[in-house]
Amino acid sequence: MPRRHMHMAGADGAALGAALRELRTRLGVPGAFPAKVLAEAEGAAAAPRMPAEDATDIPLFTIDPPASVDLDQAMHLVKRPAGGYRVHYAIADVAAFVTPGGALDAEARRRVTTLYFPDGRVPLHPPVLSEGAASLLPDQARPALLWRLDLDADGRVETTDVRRAVVRSRARLDYEGVQKAIDTGTAEPALALLKEVGALREALETARGGISLNVPEQEVVARDGSYGLVYRAPLPADGWNAQISLMTGMAAADLMLASGTGILRTLPAAPDGAVGRLRRAAQALRIDWPHHVPYAALVRSLDPRIPAHAAFLQECTALLRGAGYTVFTGGERPEHAVHAAVAAPYTHCTAPLRRLVDRYAGELCVAAAAGVAAPGWAREALTTLPHEMRDGTRLANSVERECVDLVEAAVLKDRVGETFEATVIDVEERDPQDGTVHLEDPAVVGRVKSPAGPLPLGDRIRVRLTQADPGTAKILFAPA
């Protein structure tokens, strides 16, 4: 899970734009797609491998940010006559366009994941596919992996099926519109059920000890000709939508485990030291965390619209470090099969337009559901896929981390010497004069160095910005 999400809302600044271009070069970010790859993608877009089954009668809909065009998932929910629910969840079938061993396949394995920059993105697949022929855009017949999940009245999965089918989304929705429709009672029945099923799945998550972090998005906004930073708190609809994807990833993991071949997304339990650090951050931010209250219960009690809570949720993402991919074959269950944050076996399978591993996981699940052996290309890739995903994820994390630094420096570039209200949220154990402060306005978390003595953990202090220059100097504060 990314530490922070960012996007530009307003015109790009010259200094920031130049720094972002230099960052792409320094990190070795892929540039334009080679001509051979583009030609293969054009051919695949014109003649995809369409499945025989027609499921275009299911009135699916997508939920994404308003500007998104690389639409991986579409869903439909209905109550079952005998009780419980049926969820149809269509996932873009990238394998219908990518030929194993071809130029497009090789390029995707080189890129591994879509990279997100404040001024744009570097896609995993050429836009003719990711934003066109493979995307589940409305009113278009598309090849998909169609999941059918039957749930009981409490939201537990009773039966799972996934197969290839042609689907057609009826509507492209966004989170704010979905939230408004549900809150005002104007949502169509299938959409209204998203809240009902999402809430049930959240309750099950709580019961099994899982946790979803509602991490605020950090937005760059234009303010009187300059820049500002604000947080956008996730809506309840974001969480309900995420629960459908999470449920599918858990069902996929169960399918693969039952078949004896697959790839899981795993995360070990957080070490005691990491939790101790979070307790110090909670104290610093004046968040009451009694010792008898579990970490998961505390996180669920937080409101990401409150700045101190938002800062703490950002720090909580540190517990997600150490996640990786675990491969198993030959019918043996892996020793480490659980994702600690999910509190169950889980896999990535719902974003194949943006993440390499999902194409392979989806293929393995289709084979498992049909009771047949997975194709050789999917099984053979398992030997190298964890390493490819590790390297690709590492690059994506570097891009995100560096972009945060650049955006914050660009926003504050002309404010060096100014003072701000801040809270000391962390102090280095080995050097108590070095730490981290949280500013509420602008929405910045930055380093602070105190030449005069130890920093007062948890105190609200005035700090002076001593440096900020995108591409040259990361932001740094000192006590004022």
CATH of the domain at 461: 2.40.50.140
Q: What is the mean pLDDT of residues 274-283?
A: 85
Q: How far apart are CA 430 and CA 332, in angstroms?
A: 44
| pLDDT at position 69 over 70 | yes
Length of the chain: 480
Q: Write the DSSP assignment of 48-114 as a string of letters.
A: ----S-B-TTS-EEEE--TT-----EEEEEEE-TTSSEEEEEEEE-GGGTPPTTSHHHHHHHHH-B-
Q: Are 49 and 102 in contact (CB under 8 A)?
A: no
**Please, is 243 exposed, middle or buried when counting C-beta atoms within 10 Å of its C-beta (0-12, 13-18, 19+)?**
buried
Mean pLDDT, residues 273-295 taken together: 86
Whether 367 is in a domain gets the answer: yes
Structure-block tokens of residue 52: 């025989």
User: For residues 117 and 350, which has the higher predicted lDDT (pLDDT)?
Assistant: 350
Of the candidates 406, 435, 466, which is a domain's last residue? 406
What mean pLDDT value characterizes the chain? 91
Q: Are residues 338 and 390 in the same domain?
A: yes
If one counts the domains in the chain, the total is 2
Q: Does residue 11 carry a pLDDT above 50?
A: no
d(CA 155, CA 30): 42
Q: Are residues 161 and 135 in the same domain?
A: yes
- d(Cα 86, Cα 81) in Å, to the nearest integer? 10
Q: Are residues 373 and 450 in the same domain?
A: no
Residue that is last in its domain, among 375, 406, 437: 406
The predicted structure's pLDDT at residue 1: 34
442: which residues sit within 8 A by CB, 6+ positions away? 228, 229, 230, 411, 412
Is 307 a domain residue? Answer: no
Residue 179 DSSP SS3: helix
- List the single range of 104-118, 220-234, 333-347, 441-455 with lowest mean pLDDT: 220-234
Which residues make beta-bridge pairs with 419? Answer: 464
- In terms of domains, do 401 and 423 share one? no
Instruction: Give the end of a domain, one of 406, 437, 467.
Output: 406
Lowest model confidence (mean pLDDT) among 45-54, 158-167, 333-342: 333-342
Asked whether the predicted pLDDT for residue 286 surpasses 50, the reply is yes
Give the structural domain span for 247. Answer: 50-212+234-267+323-406
Of the listed ranges 35-49, 262-276, 354-368, the least confidently predicted one is 262-276
Question: What confidence tens digit (pLDDT) does each residue in 309-329 have?
Answer: 877 887 888 888 889 999 999
Residue 3 has pLDDT above 50, yes or no: no
Report yes or no on 279 lying in a domain: no
Measure the CA–CA gap between 446 and 469, rounded to whole angstroms.
Answer: 14
Task: Please tell me whether residues 456 and 358 are part of one structural domain.
Answer: no
In a domain, 167, yes or no: yes
**Residues 433 and 352 placed together within one structural domain of the fold:** no
* pLDDT tens, position by position, 140-156: 999 999 999 999 999 99
Q: Are residues 77 and 148 in the same domain?
A: yes
Q: For residues 187 and 110, state if they share a domain.
A: yes
Dump pLDDT digits (tens) for 179-230. 999 999 999 999 999 999 999 999 999 999 898 888 777 676 665 655 667 7
Tell whether 246 and 346 lie within a shared domain.
Answer: yes
Per-residue confidence at 232, pLDDT binned at 50, 70, 90? confident
DSSP 306: S
User: How confident is the model at residue 471, as a pLDDT?
Assistant: 80
pLDDT at 12: 45
pLDDT of residue 460: 86
Average pLDDT over residues 228-254: 91
Check whether residue 331 and residue 427 sit in a common domain: no
**Burial level of 84, CB count in 10 A (0-12/13-18/19+)?**
middle
Q: What is the pLDDT of residue 73?
A: 98
Please choose, from the candidates 92, 145, 44, 99, the residue with its C-alpha nearest in 3D space to the C-alpha of residue 375. Answer: 99
Tell whether 243 and 349 lie within a shared domain.
Answer: yes
Q: Do 60 and 91 reside in the same domain of the chain? A: yes
Q: Does residue 478 have a pLDDT over 90?
A: yes
Please, which residues bridge with residue 377 across strands?
none
Tell me whether residue 222 is in a domain: no
Q: Which residues pair with 159 in a beta bridge?
A: 150
Q: What is the mean pLDDT of residues 364-382?
A: 97
pLDDT of 2 reads: 36
- pLDDT of 224: 62
Structure tokens at 61: 């809909």
The fraction of the chain above a pLDDT of 90, given in percent, is 67
Residue 441 clears pLDDT 90, i.e. is over it: no
Percent of the chain with pLDDT over 70: 95
**15 closest CA partner among 447, 406, 375:** 406
pLDDT(137) > 60 = yes
Question: Which pLDDT score, from 0 to 100, does residue 9 have?
Answer: 53
pLDDT value at position 57? 98
Does residue 22 sit within a domain?
no
Looking at the domain assignment, is residue 23 inside a domain? no
